[in-house]
Every structure is written in structure tokens, then in C-alpha cells.
Structure 1
Amino acid sequence: MRWQVVQLLYNETMMTTCRDVPTICIDLASAIKFVSEDFSDLLHTTASGSRKIGELLADRLKDLIR
């Protein structure tokens, strides 16, 4: 469970930085319900995890690239 705490702190730091820097940020950790099968290790996603991320990014970014 220690890795979950590290991941939470990392996500919080990233989102704080995103608010401070004028850039586009999408909080994947809050927006997607990941399950253990979505990861091949503590960092890398499997096909199912990558699909969830891709679908969310496509939805959130579609209006920005038209």
C-alpha cells in the first residue's frame, strides 16, 4: 500500500503544478476508475488501462483540436 501513498502524493503534486503553469492538465487518477488489470506494474498500463486513458483524452481534448 506504500506505493499508493506515493502515487497519491505524485498526483497531487502534478495537479498543483498544472494549476500554477498555464497548460492543459487532465487528472486521470480522479477521472478514471482503474482496476489492477489496467496495470502491468506500478506505472505501466495494459491494453485495457491504455484504452481507458485514450478514451478519456479523446473526449477531453476533442474540442481543443478542431
Structure 2
Amino acid sequence: MVEEEAHRRAMESGGEADELIAELRARREADVEAAWAEEAHRRWKAYQRGEEEMLDFDDVMAGIRATFPR
């Protein structure tokens, strides 16, 4: 629906469509940032309650490199 509106505006005026697309991208980025902040907070609270464990970055990366060698 929104993409259709962007396409319609693009046909009428390139400038307006560009503005709409930029606005949509900014909204999506803000939504993604908010979702990640919420997820980080959820994980931190779970860790504090003892429901999650922290993993060492170097250990995780070593496991990834072993699983996906170059």
C-alpha cells in the first residue's frame, strides 16, 4: 500500500517520491533500532535473573571460524 503510493508519486513527481521513500526508510530504521534496544534490554534482564548466560566473544568467533572456514 505504501509502496504503491510511492510508485504513484514517482510517476507524478520524482522529488515527492524520493522524499516519501526517504521518510519510509527513516521510519524503518527507527523501528529496527527500537526493536534491537528492546531485545537488548530483554536479554540483559534475563541475564540478571540467571536465565541467560554470557558468551565470550573470542569463543563465539572461534566457533564460527571453525564452522565456516575460509
TM over 0.5: no
Report the TM-score when normalising by structure 1: 0.36
Q: Which has the larger radius of gyration?
A: 2
Q: Which has the higher helix share?
A: 2
Normalised to the residue count of structure 2, the TM-score between the two structures is 0.34
